[in-house]
Amino acid sequence: MNISSGFIRRPVATGLLMFAVVVLGAISYTLLPVASLPNVDSPTIQVTAQLPGADPKTVASSVATQLERQFGQIPGLTQMTSSSGTGFTQVSLQFDRGRTIDSVASDVQAAINATQGQLPAALLNPPTYRKTNPADVPILLIAMSSDVFPITTVSDYAYSLMAQKISQIPGVGLVGVGGLQSPAIRIQVNPAQLAAENLDFETVRTALSNLTVLQPKGQLYGGQQAVALQSNDQITTAAGFEDAIVAYRDGAPIRVRDLGRAVKAPQDVTIAGWVGEKPAVALAVQRAPGANVIATVAAIKKALPQLQASLPPGIDVRITSDRTQTIQASVKDVQFTLLLTIVLVVGVIALFLRRLWATVIPAVSVPISLVGTFAVMYVLGYSLDNLSLMALTIAIGFVVDDAIVMVENIVRHIEEGASPMQAALDGAGEIGFTILSISISLVAVFIPLFLMGGVVGLMFREFAVTVAVSILVSVIVSLTLTPMMCARLLPGGEEKAPGRLSRWLEGFFTWLTARYDDGLKLALRYRFVTLLTFFGTVALTGYLFWTIPKGFFPQQDTGLIVGISEAAQDVSPEGMKQRQQAILGIIMKDPAVADVAGYIGPGGPTVTENNGRVFITLKPDTERNVTADQVIARLSKALDQVQGMKVYMQAAQDITIGAVVSKTQYQFTMTDIDQSELEHYGPKLLDALRKLPELTAVASDQQSAARMLNVVVDRTAASRLGIDPAAVDNTLYDAFGQRHVARIYLPLNYYYVILEVDPHYQLGPNALQRIYVRSQDNTSVPLSQIARIETGTMPAVVNHQGQFPSVTLSFNLAPGATIGAAVAAVQKAAADLHMPSSVATAFQGNAQAFQTSLGSTPPLILAALFAVYVILGVLYESTIHPLTILSTLPSAGLGALATLMLVGRPLDMIGIIGIILLIGIVKKNGIMLVDVAIVAEREGGKSPEAAIHEACLLRFRPILMTTLCALLGGVPLMLGTGTGSEIRQPLGYAIVGGLAVSQVLTLFTTPVVYLYMDRLRLALTRRRPTEAGRPAVEAR
């Protein structure tokens, strides 16, 4: 059956069909989202709650644990972590990809509602959730500052207006407000004056809570009119609170100003933010899982002018970091690489064929095949990203090969005297099913990738599907449009004499074929030595695969460095501010830094008061001569001069696995039901990891040495005076917990009234000596009379994973080290400690994904080989010939691995993709040789040696041309130096190195393997006169 005949005879229908494919593909191209990498997000929810003034243990046990018990019952939950600091807790929930983000959000809200009865009454607000991954890097960082207004006013507009409006834009998961200093009215009481008036904090708190209210008051209805009732029930200014009466003594009013003062000040004194060295508020925009980053940022930028117009003129708004700039630059760079590859491949075709239409026809098939692929990508929900565009770049060598084979066979018929129409019909009939069969066997290489799970499988799947679709589209084009164009465009009869350049090239190819023939004869004469060379290649390939350093994903330079600053666990808010400003000033002086923003205090990725966040935006690649990792190394040395502060930095990456926020890039977690064991072994393992040469910037989230004053109440003495523990706790909370005692409601937002001891009397342990507690007979009793003070330590943060206490150690890779070596070193260090079996250890995030991918790589390659073997066995009705074809693969693997080692790169996920592709590319060369040799034996009656010799010479040029086309598809990837090139280079090195070595070796080893396999075939089939080894198609 001639598949192509109908299309050849109906050029208009064929042309319109291809035109429709191009139109659909072009429209789909404009609709495809642009991203850096495929979307591999898992549904992730971030839950936060605030309990101002509570220590980390109290927050963890009364809030985080209660929430975790409910969250743990949600189906599909794969990871649950929590961090609790002073007055703040954050719970991160990650779910199986089989669940949607909206469905898990409903379950999370139901779990929060079910927990309400167990949560403390003092909780500031009910726990809230956001559909975002806290470990994600913000896609946009917007700074707001002012030289006119106080930072509290800027914060008010940032939170009440900007953050609210930006959150409503589709694709936005969370707008974190770093350095938020919301305005509040702080009632600062002098404890000595309070005692002199025989008052206590609880009396003042009760009075303040009733001084300002906003309640419904009803309406008056007359015969014809209705009148609303209002009253001055709210106090909205600090001056109004200073005049407010809180009690009477001897008939005289006691006002707030008699006990201290009321000031307008930030709601939380532990929080502050800067851009450069200027006080500011940072809006960190995080995307929702699965959102289109480019479209989301574009929508935000479009809305910014209108939002800025609604702000007072004195507030400045500017973007300090935009992740989409590097994403778009990276995609544009790979798009240029794609076009360059098309030009190079067309040049190769012209070089070998040296005929205008014989070059134009295959060249036309390339863009049509690629554009047609865009339509399928859109239907499948894929994006234009580095992997999909790399897939199309590499696929050029595949798609053009089908058209070349078709054109070559038709040209051969024309040269034998047939008319172009008859040559197209005959040539397409002979070669059509062969093209279809080879393409199907090529797609079979990717079957294991289609079935892979996990993050790596999702990334592989998009790459594999894109390549497979482009191959299938190229088959359609090669069986329809290509023969139709050949029938109408290829000249028939005698052609004009070739030019001087064409004659020179023909002479060169003839000379090259003769030299190959000389070498081939030598290889066949000493076939055993050649066979030993083949086995040596197999052994060396296995050795290199075992010894080559293993990686997970190339380290990217996205132009953004994120950092977490950490001071001593007992640092004061003022001391933290001074140190954070010092590090920001040093960072701004680095010549590679374009901008820097930072903030301190609990909230967002950090939950403790001694932690801060830093975002360093680097200058474009063209304006700096160092990578992000080199900048980190340089800044680390410069920042060492800041006493009492350590900054942990990592280059922002496009792929984020897991929801664990850590100071550095890779995480290793310890969990144990016994917190004391973690406190014992956590520091030991931290010290051991810091000694490993493979690691740098080793950090821990364990902070268990915060200073503590323990108020030990004498319950007997207190009971005798009618004082219960609740009264003591409430008094301490009133005095030192930044207690929110009332709310003020205004049109834009609501604001808190906060009660505290005057800051001048909060310094040191002596502050407790000034505190009095109300007794049963309404007298003020000094706290020191019923309690003693003990000093000690306590955790500054309490971390849980899966409801159990945990410690997460994080690290970066030392220069030249690989994640494979680091993982092995960390595992050995943990084993050498001989920790109890109750201490469970595991890698998290990218390190965990590396472990999973490392274990699945050999089965993946074997599965690909098995799939190809099965397909080839079916096509050839033989179990022997597929082995001959697969014998071409070890040399390709050797070339890929050796090239990666020579350039100092590990075998990572991108390199493995390259090896999988090599299986398909090199296999086609083996098919070309075996196909022709079988025909020569069966139809020409030639001996196996003569047949394979003839096949090698006959197919030498086509193999050289197709291999060169595929190789040139990898050269631009290998040599690229633009944005995002670090992702593409491993694939280019693997493809180029594998094809170069394979081309040299397989042209000599494959014929020898064919002869030895023929001997094996004869030994196994002596009972049959002939072997049914002819494939189900004609040789091309």
Domain CATH number, residue 889: 1.20.1640.10
Query: What is the structure's pLDDT at 1?
Result: 59
User: Average pLDDT in the 599-615 region?
Assistant: 87
pLDDT at 1023: 53
pLDDT above 60 (res 973): yes
Residue 53 lies in a domain: yes
**How distant, in Å, are the alpha carbons of 615, 722, 762, 784 from that of 774?**
49, 9, 20, 13
Q: Is residue 862 part of a domain?
A: no
| 825/841 same-domain check | yes
pLDDT at 345: 82
**Average of pLDDT values for 190-215?**
91
- Amino acid 1028: pLDDT: 44
For residue 181, which of 49, 87, 279 has the smallest C-alpha distance?
A: 279
Q: Is the pLDDT of residue 748 over 70?
A: yes
CATH number at residue 94: 3.30.70.1430
Overall number of domains in the chain = 5
CA distance 459 to 456: 5
- More confidently predicted of 928 and 731: 731
pLDDT digits (tens, 9 = 90+) for 375-434: 999 998 888 888 888 888 888 877 887 888 788 778 878 877 788 888 888 888 877 777
Cα torsion 29, 32, 36, 38 to 10°: value is -120
Q: Encode pLDDT of 898-908 as tens digits.
A: 999 999 889 88
User: Token pair of 268, please?
Assistant: 């939380």
**Distance from C-alpha of 678 to C-alpha of 791, rounded to nearest angstrom:** 22
Domain end point (choices 114, 131, 148):
131
Q: Is residue 495's pLDDT more than 60?
A: no
> Does the pLDDT value for residue 1030 go beyond 60?
no
- Is 1033's pLDDT higher than 60? no
Strands 128-130 and 695-700: unpaired
Specify whether 945 is located in the same domain as 988. yes
**Average pLDDT value for residue range 496-507:** 72
Asked if the model's pLDDT at residue 312 lies above 80, the reply is yes
pLDDT given for residue 883 in this prediction: 86
pLDDT at residue 677, rounded to an integer: 92
DSSP bridge pairs for 176: 284
* Least confident window among 268-272, 477-481, 729-733, 1012-1016: 1012-1016
Average pLDDT over residues 789-793: 88
Q: Tell me, what's the pLDDT at 939?
A: 77
Residues 735 and 775 in one domain: yes
| DSSP code of residue 604 | T
The confidence score (pLDDT) of residue 806 equals 93
The string of pLDDT tens digits covering residues 810-843 is 999 998 888 889 999 999 999 999 999 999 999 9
Phi/psi at 325 (5° precision): -65, -45
Residue 175 inside a domain? The answer is no
- Same domain (yes/no): 667, 787: no
Look at 412-416, 620-624, 807-811 and tell me which has the smallest mean pLDDT: 412-416
Is 246 part of a structural domain of the chain? yes
Q: Are residues 690 and 619 in the same domain?
A: yes
Backbone φ and ψ of 915, nearest 5°: -65, -40
E strand or H helix at 94, and its extent?
strand 88-95
Q: Residue 699 is inside which H or E element, if any?
A: strand 695-700
**656 within a domain of the structure (yes/no):** yes
Which range is least confidently modeled, 135-139, 738-742, 825-829, 923-927? 923-927
Unique residue bearing structure tokens 């917007």: 142
Question: Which pLDDT value is given to residue 841?
Answer: 93
d(CA 576, CA 568): 9
Tokens of 195: 């005692």
Mean pLDDT of 496-509: 74
Report residue 136's pLDDT band, with 50, 70 and 90 as the boundaries. confident
pLDDT at site 301: 94
Q: Binning pLDDT at 50, 70 and 90, where does residue 493 land?
A: low
Shared domain check, 775 and 669? no
Does residue 1035 surpass a pLDDT of 50?
no
Distances (CA, A) of 166 to 101, 176, 303, 373, 409: 20, 11, 8, 35, 61
**Count of Cβ atoms closer than 10 Å to residue 692 Cβ:** 18
Tens of pLDDT, residue by residue over 50-83, are 998 899 999 999 999 999 999 999 999 999 999 9
What residue type is assigned to position 1025 of the chain?
Answer: P
Residues 889 and 1007 in one domain: yes
Q: Which domain holds residue 915?
A: 506-547+877-1036
759 and 619 within one domain: no
Q: Which residue has the tokens 């058209």?
A: 403
Output the pLDDT for position 412: 76
Phi, psi of 666 (to 5 degrees): -110, 145
By residue count, the chain amounts to 1036
Residue type, 834: H
Q: Please tell me the least confidently modeled range out of 90-104, 202-216, 535-549, 948-962.
A: 948-962
Handedness of CA 678, 679, 684, 687 (dihedral sign): positive
Both 815 and 837 in one domain: the answer is yes
| Residue 621 within any structural domain of the chain | yes
- How far apart CA 571 and CA 544 sit, in angstroms, is 52
> From CA 892, how far away is CA 919, in angstroms rounded?
8
Same domain, 1006 and 914: yes
Cα separation, 994 vs 898, whole angstroms: 9
CA distance 740 to 734: 9
Which residue in 553, 548, 462 sits closest to 985, CA to CA? Answer: 553
- First-to-final CA distance of the chain: 16
Q: What's the token pair of residue 193?
A: 């004056």
Q: Are residues 470 and 513 in the same domain?
A: no
Indicate which CATH number applies to the domain containing 726: 3.30.2090.10
State the Cα torsion 49-54-57-62 to the nearest 10°: -50
pLDDT tens digits for 578-596? 999 999 999 999 999 999 9
Domain end among 794, 825, 860: 794
Predicted confidence at residue 497, as pLDDT, reads 60
Q: What is the DSSP string of 141-153?
A: EEEEEESSS-HHH
In a domain, 226, yes or no: no
Name residue, tokens 């060295």.
277
Tell me which of 103-107, 223-227, 651-655 is least confident: 651-655
Q: How many CB atoms lie within 10 A of CB 40?
A: 19
Shared domain for 9 and 60, answered yes or no, is no
Q: Which amino acid is at 317?
A: V
Residue 564 has pLDDT above 90, yes or no: yes
Tell me the torsion sign for CA atoms 882, 887, 893, 899.
negative
323-to-558, 690, 792 alpha-carbon distances in Å: 8, 32, 45
Mean pLDDT of the chain: 87
Give percent of the chain above pLDDT 70.
Answer: 97
315 lies in some domain: no
